[in-house]
Amino acid sequence: MMHTFSRRRFLQLAGAASAVVVLPQTAAAAASTAARVVVVGGGFGGATVAKYLSIWGGGQVAVTLVDPNPSHIACILSNLVVTGALSMDRITLGYSALKGKPGVTVKQGLVTAIDYMRGAVSLGDGTTLPYDHLVLSPGIDFIPAPDGAWDPNLTPHAWQAGAQTLLLKQQLASMRDGDTFVMTVPKSPYRCPPGPYERACMVADYLKRKRLVFAKVVVLDANPGIQAEPLAFGEAFNFIYKGMIEYVPNATVLAVNSKSRSIDTTAGDWSGVRVLNYIPNQRAAAMGPADSPNRGWPVLNAQGFVPVDPLTYGISGYPNVHVIGDACAVPASEGKAVPKSGHMANAEAKVCADAILRTLNNQPLDQNITTNSACFSPITATTASWLSANFNYGDIYDGAGKVKGKGMHRVDLGEAPKTNGDNYRDMFTWAQGLFADSFV
Amino acid sequence: MQLKTISPRYLILCGLALASPHGAQAAPPPGQLLASQCAQCHGTNGNGPGFDEVAGKSASELLKDLLEMKRRPVEGIMDRQARGYTDAQIKLIADYLAAHSGVAAATTDH
């Protein structure tokens, strides 16, 4: 609208002109000195570490982010896609902004092998990516039930968002009055502690709004009790959805048959249900073929996750190989585990990015670390709760209160004193912030 | 750096940094890593999108707000979050965000 040559426009042009002159030199210098970081997995952890290595590294680092998919579909808010409240595009996060960050390359591809000794990642298209630091953020794999015939294409878990989310949506929409929706809560630790309870609420709310008053939701929890926001979900199960949600604790899954939609557990058997939303137990996603030692990881703990150093997210014996997000096991105090979530993956990614840059620059690591988890869970179609947790680097304790080492000690935990409409609105602001801080 | 004179230790650190094969870079400002954990909800460097109460506030305003949240009865999620930090950590966060959000972001944000 301005007819005069504005100062802003002049600065833009001047900037562009100097960039043209300076770029070849800078690029040549960068090519010879830039440290190479390969990031495997473009979810919240991988995207955030790539972004912050770029921002904080000032172009010092050449980051290559590898993911098999052209975009990431967030699990966050995906229960609202299952009920039809949101469309898939609201949780589909592209990589175009990341591609525009200085030093960042995003490559669509499948990792076929990692040579931890020589420091190189091989991709399905024959490319080899040598690295100075490797960040693995692959998420989770499922541990199928010991017996039966489980087929997630028939009975979706919808615990990795995308086609699975849409399949569960279709199946929910097919429910008639008197039908039963059976779902499971995996044994902890699993991705998103409040997620399964949130899903039970969203499904029940959907059935209520469709006036399917005799439809039922059975929640088979492998754990002895509700794993997150016990106040909000306890109130939901006992009052808001009384008679509709049946909560069954201590239900260890023994067998699943997807064709007959049947499930056997230590707390009872259900068969021929309308929808079987079996969410299996979880472990770190494989980094190699199923028959390779440790499924391709240098080291795994008894639960199938990768133990990491809380200051760098490095693996013991491989300090330049870092694991963040749902796949890693952060040392923590007994009974106060660091949750597996997109928000926490973002938090860990920043600690990891900072540690990589300090290591490259021979600077001491920052030990003044707090990571946090903050999330909102819908309870009805108009109300939500929230969960907040903070973890501080320092001494961690065993069950008897004795110091057992260093790690991320949970210093605060709490949930919303009330579920209400303000929280429901805040949930979208929170998701928008988290999506942007990770992917934009 | 709050050093009034250049200490031998600082010179050694500089030397190490220069010797790095990947080129030297100044140490990150204090509070950067702590404050980055606010960004999930308040945007990168507090500049949104998200809850936009951070950008444009002074360090003393942020410090006062956060300490008040930490000490009042819990109502909103920030009352809880603030309890997860020591007062010294809150001070570092307030100083960093005041210097890197809002107007300051125009020159320092990437």
Last residue of a domain, one of A254, A283, A312: A283
* Stretch 25-64 of chain B: residues touching chain A, C-beta under 8 Å: 25, 27-28, 32-34, 36-37, 39-44, 48-51
- pLDDT mean over A166-174: 98
Cβ-nearest to A351 among B22, B33, B43: B33
Residues of B in contact with A57 (CB under 8 A): 25
- Beta carbons of B44 and A55 less than 8 Å apart: yes
- Beta carbons of A437 and B40 less than 8 Å apart: yes
Q: How many domains does chain A have?
A: 2
**A50 and A103 share a domain?**
yes
The CA distances from residue A171 to A210, A255, A261, B3, B74, in Å, are: 14, 21, 12, 65, 40
| Cα distance between residue B83 and residue B86, in whole Å | 8
The three-state secondary structure class of B6 is coil
- Smallest Cα–Cα separation from A340: which of A277, A283, A302, A278? A283
CA-based nearest residue in chain B for residue A345: B40
- Beta carbons of B44 and A357 less than 8 Å apart: no
Report whether pLDDT(B5) > 90.
no
The reply to whether B21 touches chain A by the CB within 8 Å rule is yes
Delimit the domains of chain B by residue range: 30-108
Task: Give the per-residue pLDDT at A33.
Answer: 72
Gap from A388 CA to chain B (nearest CA, Å): 6
Last residue of a domain, one of A312, A337, A368: A368
Beta bridge partners of A39: A65, A135
**A276 and A163 share a domain?**
yes
* Stretch 59-78 of chain B: residues touching chain A, C-beta under 8 Å: 74-75, 77
- Smallest Cα–Cα separation from A191: which of A165, A227, A230, A162? A227
**A195 and A265 share a domain?**
yes
- Beta carbons of B39 and A361 less than 8 Å apart: no
Cβ-nearest to A433 among B22, B42, B83: B42
- Smallest Cα–Cα separation from B54: which of B86, B83, B78? B78
CATH for A339: 3.50.50.60
B61: confidence class by pLDDT, cuts 50, 70, 90: very high
Q: Is residue A96 part of a domain?
A: yes
Percent of chain A scored above 90 by pLDDT?
A: 90
Residue-number span of the structural domain to which A212 is assigned: 145-283
CA geometry: angle A295, A296, A297, nearest 5 deg: 100
- Smallest Cα–Cα separation from A427: which of A165, A76, A45? A76
Report whether pLDDT(A427) > 80.
yes
**A208 and A93 share a domain?**
no
| Cα distance between residue B51 and residue A105, in whole Å | 30
Task: Give the per-residue pLDDT at A66.
Answer: 98
Amino acid at position A8, single letter: R
- pLDDT mean over A308-328: 97
Q: For domain B30-108, which CATH number applies: 1.20.210.10, 1.10.10.10, 1.10.760.10, 3.40.50.20? A: 1.10.760.10
B103: confidence class by pLDDT, cuts 50, 70, 90: low
**A196 and A105 share a domain?**
no
| Cα distance between residue A232 and residue B107, in whole Å | 44
| Cα distance between residue A352 and residue A310, in whole Å | 9
Residues of B in contact with A44 (CB under 8 A): none
Report whether pLDDT(A6) > 80.
no
The reply to whether A12 touches chain B by the CB within 8 Å rule is no
The pLDDT tens digits of the residues spanning A22-41 come to 333 334 344 457 999 999 99
- pLDDT mean over A342-369: 98
| Cα distance between residue A338 and residue A331, in whole Å | 8
- Beta carbons of B34 and A414 less than 8 Å apart: no
**What average pLDDT does the structure give for chain A?**
93
Question: Which one of B22, B32, B79 makes the best mutation probe of the A interface by having the most chain A beta carbons within 10 Å?
Answer: B22
Contact present, A181 and A210 (Cβ < 8 Å): no
Task: Give the per-residue pLDDT at A14.
Answer: 38
Task: Give the per-residue pLDDT at A414.
Answer: 98
**A101 and A155 share a domain?**
no
Residues of B in contact with A414 (CB under 8 A): 74, 80, 83
Cβ within 8 Å of residue A37, ≥6 positions away: A53, A61, A62, A63, A64, A131, A132, A133, A134, A135, A356
Contact present, A54 and A61 (Cβ < 8 Å): yes
**A157 and A112 share a domain?**
no
Question: Which one of B20, B40, B107 makes the best mutation probe of the A interface by having the most chain A beta carbons within 10 Å?
Answer: B40
The pLDDT tens digits of the residues spanning A206-260 come to 999 999 999 999 999 999 999 999 999 999 999 999 999 999 999 999 999 999 9
Q: Is residue A417 part of a domain?
A: no
* Stretch 247-276 of chain A: residues touching chain B, C-beta under 8 Å: none
**A191 and A95 share a domain?**
no
Task: Give the per-residue pLDDT at B18.
Answer: 38
* Stretch 24-83 of chain A: residues touching chain B, C-beta under 8 Å: 33-35, 51-52, 54-58, 60-61
* Stretch 368-387 of chain A: residues touching chain B, C-beta under 8 Å: 368-372, 374, 386
Last residue of a domain, one of A261, A283, A305: A283
**A271 and A289 share a domain?**
no
**A149 and A212 share a domain?**
yes
Cβ-nearest to A411 among B13, B39, B84: B84
Q: Which of A55-59, A315-319, B100-104 has the lowest mean pLDDT?
A: B100-104
**A254 and A316 share a domain?**
no
B57: confidence class by pLDDT, cuts 50, 70, 90: very high
Task: Give the per-residue pLDDT at B52.
Answer: 79
A378: confidence class by pLDDT, cuts 50, 70, 90: very high
**A261 and A170 share a domain?**
yes
- The DSSP call for residue B38 is T
ipTM score of the complex? 0.90
Tally A–B CB contacts below 8 A: 134
Report whether pLDDT(A108) > 60.
yes
- pLDDT mean over A82-94: 98
